[in-house]
Amino acid sequence: MKYPNLFSPLKIGSLTIRNRVVMGAMGNGTANPDQTISDRAIAYYAARAKGGVGLIVNEVTRVNDEHGMMTDRQTSVTDDKFIPDLKRLADAVHYYDGAIFIQLHHPGRQTVVPGGMCATPSGVKSLLINWPCFEMTTEQVEELVQQFIDGAKRCKEAGIDGVELHAAHGYMLNQFLSPYTNKRTDKYGGSPQKRARIIREIVTGIRNSLGDYPIMLRISADEFLERSIYPIPENETGLKLEESIEIVKYLVPFGIDAVNVSAGVYETMNEAWEPVSYPEGWKIYLAEEIKKAVDVPVFGVGVIRNPEFAEKVIADGRTDGVTIARGMLADPDWCNKAASGRTDEIRRCISCLNCMETMSEGINCAVNPRTGHEWFYNDLQCDGNGRPVVVIGAGPAGMEAALTLSERGFKVTLLEQNDHLGGQVWLGSRPPHKEKMGWMGEYYDTMLKKRNVDVRLHTPAAMEEIKKLNPYAVFVATGSKPIVPGSIPGAHGANVYTPDEILSGKTVLSNKKVTVIGSGLTGLETAELLANGGNKLAIVDMADEIGPGAYWQPLSDIKKKLSPFKPEYYPGHTLLEIQPDKIIIKDKAGTETALETDAVILSLGVKPDNKLAEELKKEFDKVVVIGDADHIGRIKHAVSAGYREAYHFH
């Protein structure tokens, strides 16, 4: 076996799991509105069990209905009525020889309680959520302890293999552990051991009631408050590694069977759920240090995407296993592919954070259109019978359509005018620290070759050449083109460029004054590439704030990376005119300003490039337009459109 350490069994208390890979918990919004496990959720988890993962930890699971809710569509163990569906979940995972823990959870201050207040150790509000809080009485904490214990009892009765106590990422149990959020003077506050008392009581209560039932502790070993994007009160350092080691050493003897080590809270969410720029395994050292202090299995997490890395972490004795969450969304067969030597077939997570941004819609993945929809996309028809299909454009939509059509048995020819696959995601991989975006092209390159798709690069889609292929159907994924408004004087001048020209390397600017018009993520990432080329930057946007419409996690990350270059920001300004050596902008009050500049980058969005599609419709009966050529969207929309249209095409 290629990865003998990664795929060796491991004991967690009385349970033996088949390998060292844990699918980390992620809120997924797939439960029924009454918090029972849905068929959709069972299909989602069963797919990961079938994919070979050693242990699945389900999403945050409610132990309290009064103030312990995260969302309406959230798993719950607050009542015996939830046991039958939990058993269905356990049975589905066990059918594929997998194991599953339920993650027992209370959000504390990190939620919204409609018509009420958040329960907390000491009334310290979340700077992200900013919802009113109250400090729990000693009696209320004791009641919460019992609710965790009762939840574990229901899990065991349902045949669930064990429980994970969620004391990470700033939720309730983490709030008790942290000196930042726990200022109590009763038995649940004070020293690290007293702050950990609530967990000790939960663990001993489960042990007394259920015997050797497996218990795993998830902990944020460092809250990284010094990296907060919100103002943290002076002298508040939060929970740091040294105290976390002390706490874990204290708790393990009471009955903790394994420790799952993470980091961060909502104020430092990028340290918990990292944007694309964070390197693989950056926080493994936290688990490594905790492993040195305890004699139970310790799992490490931190943007782990590649089996080679996971194998080395375990082989070097840094951890006993690895926790992979988003990677399991991108490819439920990650383990089976790695174990059988098909590493090149793994569809790797690109850390785009689509899953975080759209979690309220129900779990989904930008690069895997089946994630969260396994119950629906469950009968791919292999009925292509060798009929020829032409796909035009090798961006995300075209690549996914070509792959899916080939899996259905069509004879696929993929035409791409450039010398590479990827389209916009290839351009997206060009800015600093965004190499992961290029993984999409690598994956499709591998799979299209294995499926014998005829990929023709350097091949513009000429009508006569398409006709020679005599296609049964044509899929048009010609993407988009940048918007360059002709109404702005000078917009077509020699000193004006689009992000595509900069990101592709067609135009290289260095040591110049450059103004970027438009501060979406594309504009900001183009600005970072330019800044690394020694250019002095100004960034202009009509919106009142920089980054309009951008999800706050990647936005805060890119602004942090731009900060050392000291760009000049001009939010709330309209571009009036571009001249050879300056631009004229106007603020909301009507005041005009001239900015000296050598070059202007117009990052004003894109529009569908669908001219060819209209011509093709005149020549062929079956023309399917997908991706940006049909409707401007993000990677998720392009990939899902390519899959959806190829899936049900006939």
The answer on 595 and 622 residing in a single domain is no
555 close to 532: Cβ distance less than 8 angstroms = no
CATH number, position 585: 3.50.50.60
Q: Report the pLDDT value the prediction gives residue 597, as an integer from 0 to 100.
A: 98
**Cβ-Cβ contacts under 8 Å for 357 (sequence gap 6 or more):** 551, 553
With cut-offs at 50, 70 and 90, classify the pLDDT of residue 361. confident
Tell me, yes or no, whether 366 lies in a domain: no
State the Cα angle at 162 between 156 and 167, rounded to 5°.
Answer: 120
H/E stretch holding 290: helix 284-291
The answer on 448 and 355 residing in a single domain is no
Distance, in Å, from the CA atom of 369 to the CA atom of 637, rounded to the nearest integer, reads: 9
The answer on 408 and 310 residing in a single domain is no
Q: Report the pLDDT value the prediction gives residue 374, as an integer from 0 to 100.
A: 97
Task: Report the 10 Å Cβ neighbour count for 633.
Answer: 16
Coil vs helix vs strand at 47: helix
What 8-state DSSP symbol labels residue 367?
Answer: S
Distance, in Å, from the CA atom of 159 to the CA atom of 613, rounded to the nearest integer, reads: 54
The answer on 548 and 448 residing in a single domain is no
**Cβ-Cβ contacts under 8 Å for 62 (sequence gap 6 or more):** 35, 68, 69, 70, 74, 75, 76, 77, 78, 105, 106
- Report strand pairing: 513-517 vs 536-541: parallel
H/E stretch holding 101: strand 100-105
In the predicted model, is pLDDT for residue 496 greater than 90? yes
28 close to 75: Cβ distance less than 8 angstroms = no
423 close to 519: Cβ distance less than 8 angstroms = no
In the predicted model, is pLDDT for residue 505 greater than 90? yes
Distance, in Å, from the CA atom of 142 to the CA atom of 227, rounded to the nearest integer, reads: 33
Q: Report the pLDDT value the prediction gives residue 431, as an integer from 0 to 100.
A: 94
Share of the chain above pLDDT 90, in %: 99
Q: Name the average pLDDT for the chain.
A: 97
In the predicted model, is pLDDT for residue 68 greater than 90? yes
Tell me, yes or no, whether 372 lies in a domain: no
Q: Report the pLDDT value the prediction gives residue 470, as an integer from 0 to 100.
A: 97
The answer on 197 and 152 residing in a single domain is yes
The answer on 185 and 45 residing in a single domain is yes
Tell me, yes or no, whether 371 lies in a domain: no
**HEC secondary structure over 510-542:** CCCEEEEECCCHHHHHHHHHHHHCCCEEEEEEC
**The two structure tokens encoding residue 70:** 């995260």
Q: Report the pLDDT value the prediction gives residue 564, as an integer from 0 to 100.
A: 97
pTM, whole model, 2 decimals? 0.95
Q: Based on the number of CB atoms within 10 Å of its own CB, is 302 exposed (0-12), middle (13-18) or buried (19 or more)?
A: buried
Alpha helices, DSSP H, located in 380-438:
396-407, 424-428
pLDDT one-digit tens code per residue, 532-590: 999 999 999 999 999 999 999 999 999 999 999 999 999 999 999 999 999 999 999 99
Tell me, yes or no, whether 4 lies in a domain: no
- Report strand pairing: 162-167 vs 215-220: parallel
Q: Average the pLDDT over 289-300 and give the result.
A: 98
The answer on 643 and 555 residing in a single domain is no
In the predicted model, is pLDDT for residue 176 greater than 90? yes
Q: Average the pLDDT over 213-236 and give the result.
A: 96
Q: Average the pLDDT over 394-402 and give the result.
A: 98
317 close to 307: Cβ distance less than 8 angstroms = no
CATH number, position 321: 3.20.20.70
pLDDT one-digit tens code per residue, 594-618: 999 999 999 999 999 999 999 999 9
Q: From the candidates 3, 45, 171, 180, which is the catalytic residue?
A: 171
166 close to 27: Cβ distance less than 8 angstroms = no
Q: Average the pLDDT over 487-500 and give the result.
A: 96
**The two structure tokens encoding residue 248:** 């874990």
283 close to 301: Cβ distance less than 8 angstroms = yes
Domain that holds residue 440: 388-481+608-648
H/E stretch holding 92: helix 83-95
Alpha helices, DSSP H, located in 96-213:
138-157, 172-177, 192-195, 197-210
pLDDT one-digit tens code per residue, 181-195: 999 999 999 999 999
**HEC secondary structure over 218-261:** EEECCCCHHHCCCCCCCCCCCCCHHHHHHHHHHHHHHCCCEEEE
568 close to 539: Cβ distance less than 8 angstroms = yes
pLDDT one-digit tens code per residue, 121-161: 999 999 999 999 999 999 999 999 999 999 999 999 999 99
Residue type at position 214: P
The answer on 302 and 220 residing in a single domain is yes
Q: Average the pLDDT over 220-225 and give the result.
A: 98
With cut-offs at 50, 70 and 90, classify the pLDDT of residue 488. very high
Distance, in Å, from the CA atom of 416 to the CA atom of 38, rounded to the nearest integer, reads: 42
In the predicted model, is pLDDT for residue 360 greater than 90? no
The answer on 615 and 550 residing in a single domain is no
Which residue's structure tokens are 């009509």?
542
Distance, in Å, from the CA atom of 638 to the CA atom of 647, rounded to the nearest integer, reads: 14
Can you give the length of the chain in residues?
Answer: 650
Tell me, yes or no, whether 380 lies in a domain: no
The answer on 241 and 164 residing in a single domain is yes
Tell me, yes or no, whether 31 lies in a domain: yes
168 close to 106: Cβ distance less than 8 angstroms = no
Instruction: Give the chain's domain count.
Output: 3
In the predicted model, is pLDDT for residue 332 greater than 90? yes
The answer on 615 and 521 residing in a single domain is no
Distance, in Å, from the CA atom of 460 to the CA atom of 348, rounded to the nearest integer, reads: 29
Tell me, yes or no, whether 3 lies in a domain: no
Q: Report the pLDDT value the prediction gives residue 1, as an integer from 0 to 100.
A: 79
Closest CA to 258 of 4, 108, 57: 57
Q: Which residues pair with 475 in a beta bridge?
A: 391, 624
Q: Report the pLDDT value the prediction gives residue 359, as an integer from 0 to 100.
A: 86
Tell me, yes or no, whether 1 lies in a domain: no
Q: Based on the number of CB atoms within 10 Å of its own CB, is 618 exposed (0-12), middle (13-18) or buried (19 or more)?
A: exposed
With cut-offs at 50, 70 and 90, classify the pLDDT of residue 522. very high
171 is catalytic: yes
592 close to 572: Cβ distance less than 8 angstroms = no
- CA distances, 120 to each of 117, 276, 278, 294 (Å): 9, 32, 31, 29
Q: Average the pLDDT over 58-87 and give the result.
A: 97
The answer on 202 and 71 residing in a single domain is yes
Residue type at position 249: K
